[in-house]
Structure 1
């Protein structure tokens, strides 16, 4: 093994380790906040406000974040976002310990954490191709997907266990500690500067406009972003309405809802391993389109499942398709987009996803009180398959 092989592997192992530790602490706090608001208010309005606080700042900040990520040192941007989130979380922990425990303080915390995430995630995706050779991007993104899914799998149980034996303030401090560890590891990683860094004296709005112009001039990227937006809207019932379906059709026991969440996360872990090992087809879009078609068929499966065990099986298989859908797109963007534009393009993807899922819930959520969720899943699943077939046979989304 050459020194170059050893060097990039050392860097990516340290990078993924740092981000995994930080992500785990953040996930613990995210679940702790949601459960604390749920248990102390039992209010649908409060839960709606908390959801808005979790999405809206990401949409607003991501456009500017893309410019900053392309303009400044990306490693430092990740550390800055992580440090900002940890600092505000520490302040919130102190306020709660001193008796200031208003729910509105948690909304402020959610707003700031969401803004930090809007910076951290695009920067994270932009740093990986600076460290990893192009022919290893699929493997690394697959491993990264499995790690993220594992955190999703473990975080709810870990957060619940912590809250059952201690207070929410303790969870806040855990997040601060994991952030400090993650930032400390990041300090040891040398990340090369990306080429053609934008002049720091340019207007933010001008750089944002350049990002849209770049997207407009690259037809494949424009179509891909539209494809993602439509698919995210269509899969929103599977993401948000399945707990409602489970409670209505199979029973409202907590263990059923827990099993539903855990089977999806377990499937996503397996899917990350599959795509990391297999690597997908040579054409990235073929892998994404195939995963998209399977996702649609499995949504139909969720809608027609006669027994809860069958539902869990389909849910597990849907989890497998997610990394096989997402990882090739991420790699395609990392490969095809110029390094100097990675931040802005990944930020536009972040904005698209952050808008699509809530929009999907606006469309399908109220419908769930009029018709059976199963019918919504079947309809949306068929539409997902139709979109996959269109993308395949139209040739407009195929990138060599």
Structure 2
């Protein structure tokens, strides 16, 4: 049996990855709660699907626009510091919404402004946590695919806890209580980043960039770094194909989350608790899928697993809401969809981290995520307008068909074969500086 000292050293070695994943699950759980609370608050107070979509646009528009340009700053300033500051500001902005509402000062315009602030500061915070995952995996000596799989588990766990808590809070206490919890989650996330992560975490992102780019990189400054990231992404056909596919699915998913499911819950009479139920069903099984992916994904061929996951998690979610099926059937279909979806993000994360040099992770991921998230602000806006114009059922059917064509026909293109061809080569760039825990362990 391992000694107490060996176990303690092993736990210390895992601290970077555990810290990043814990901060992610806390912050994302709060975001999932507000994703139910804010649309429901707008829908029941205004009765307008269009205004509900407008609120989603005002949050995600700044989120996407800013994410495209924060990558070079993350690489230079360091993701740990940016993550901490972003969570603090997000907490304050989220807390102002229920406080102003309690004082009778929350106009619809003020709500739009605060939601936009939350989206603007959450963008660099999310990117910073995302950028720290590969370094945390290296420091903790965990395989990259396992680390991204655990990141998928964390995402799904927050997608389970957040909607369940959000649905219960909104149904029992009201949407403002959910926003108060959201503010508390951001505050806790900032505390975890400040206390749990090593102070040297993220310092990779300044020094290797100088080494790789030389004096020209320092003299070129921000815009030179941004152009480097864009040029690298443009030269990677597989990464561009991923961005295009995910951009379309994110647009449809944004409409689904912000408009389609709330309108379905209201029109069917199931209420806000049903929103939490269907998302909890999806997230629980997606968490199981991510756990399985974290365990065995490095042994499987990525391409067939990737496209099978899209087939299961895509169109069925849209079509079941049209069928008029009982709530338990909807929950079952969402659960099956979640199981397939659990395998997708770990593969995406591993492919991207594998192909992006360490010193460029922030800027390339920032630009790539901005491209894939570009449709999210429009998703709620267009979804709300479409539902108002022709009704929920036709929009759901059309969205399901587009989702299927985007995620399955795209797999016939040749660049997708690169998913398996270059696996195992590792990420470019120099290794991270050893931590005390690393020095006590031999390389695995």
Name the TM tier (shorter chain). 0.7 to 0.9
Give the TM-score taking structure 1 as reference length.
0.83
Query: Which residue of 334, 348, 354 maps to 2:373?
Result: 354
| Counterpart check, 1:142 vs 2:152 | no
- For residue 214 of structure 2, what is the aligned residue in structure 1? none
Stretches of structure 1 lacking an aligned partner (at least 5 in a row): none
- For residue 345 of structure 2, what is the aligned residue in structure 1? 326
Mapped to 2, the partners of 1:259 and 1:19 lie a distance apart of: 22
Report matched runs for 1:122-133 at 5 Å.
Answer: 122-133=127-138
Mapped to 2, the partners of 1:163 and 1:281 lie a distance apart of: 43
Stretches of structure 2 lacking an aligned partner (at least 5 in a row): 211-216, 423-444
Query: Which residue of 193, 208, 231 maps to 2:203?
Result: 193
Local SS of the residue matching 1:196: helix
Mapped to 2, the partners of 1:128 and 1:224 lie a distance apart of: 19
Local SS of the residue matching 2:143: helix
| Counterpart check, 1:379 vs 2:384 | no
Q: Which moved more, 1:27-36 or 1:326-335?
A: 27-36
- For residue 158 of structure 2, what is the aligned residue in structure 1? 151
CA deviation after TM superposition for structure 1 residue 61, in Å = 0.3
> Contact 1:211/1:341 (CA < 8 Å) preserved in 2?
yes
Query: Which residue of 56, 62, 68 maps to 1:63?
Result: 68
Report matched runs for 1:296-311 at 5 Å.
Answer: 296=314, 298=316, 302=320, 307-308=325-326, 310-311=329-330
- For residue 49 of structure 1, what is the aligned residue in structure 2? 54
Count of aligned pairs: 399
Local SS of the residue matching 2:208: coil
Query: Which residue of 204, 210, 214 maps to 2:222?
Result: 204
| CA-based RMSD | 3.7
- For residue 263 of structure 1, what is the aligned residue in structure 2? 281
Q: Which moved more, 1:195-204 or 1:300-309?
A: 300-309
Q: List per-residue Cα deviations over 1:151-188 (Å, max 9, x = no partner).
A: 22232342354456657665555444433333222223
Shift in CA distance, 235/101, structure 1 to aligned 2, threshold 3 Å = closer
Q: Which moved more, 1:179-188 or 1:200-209?
A: 200-209
Q: List per-residue Cα deviations over 1:185-207 (Å, max 9, x = no partner).
A: 22232115215235676443332
CA deviation after TM superposition for structure 1 residue 53, in Å = 0.8
| Counterpart check, 1:120 vs 2:129 | no
Q: List per-residue Cα deviations over 1:6-49 (Å, max 9, x = no partner).
A: 43312222222233223333443443333332332223342132
Report matched runs for 1:211-290 at 5 Å.
Answer: 211-232=229-250, 243=261, 251-254=268-271, 258-290=276-308
> Contact 1:122/1:347 (CA < 8 Å) preserved in 2?
yes
Local SS of the residue matching 1:132: helix
Query: Which residue of 354, 365, 386 maps to 1:366?
Result: 386
CA deviation after TM superposition for structure 1 residue 67, in Å = 1.5
Give the TM-score taking structure 2 as reference length.
0.75
- For residue 291 of structure 1, what is the aligned residue in structure 2? 309
Mapped to 2, the partners of 1:355 and 1:381 lie a distance apart of: 16
Query: Which residue of 24, 28, 39 maps to 2:29?
Result: 24
Q: List per-residue Cα deviations over 1:327-365 (Å, max 9, x = no partner).
A: 111121112201121112222232123223455674897
Q: Which moved more, 1:380-389 or 1:178-187?
A: 380-389
> Contact 1:296/1:383 (CA < 8 Å) preserved in 2?
no
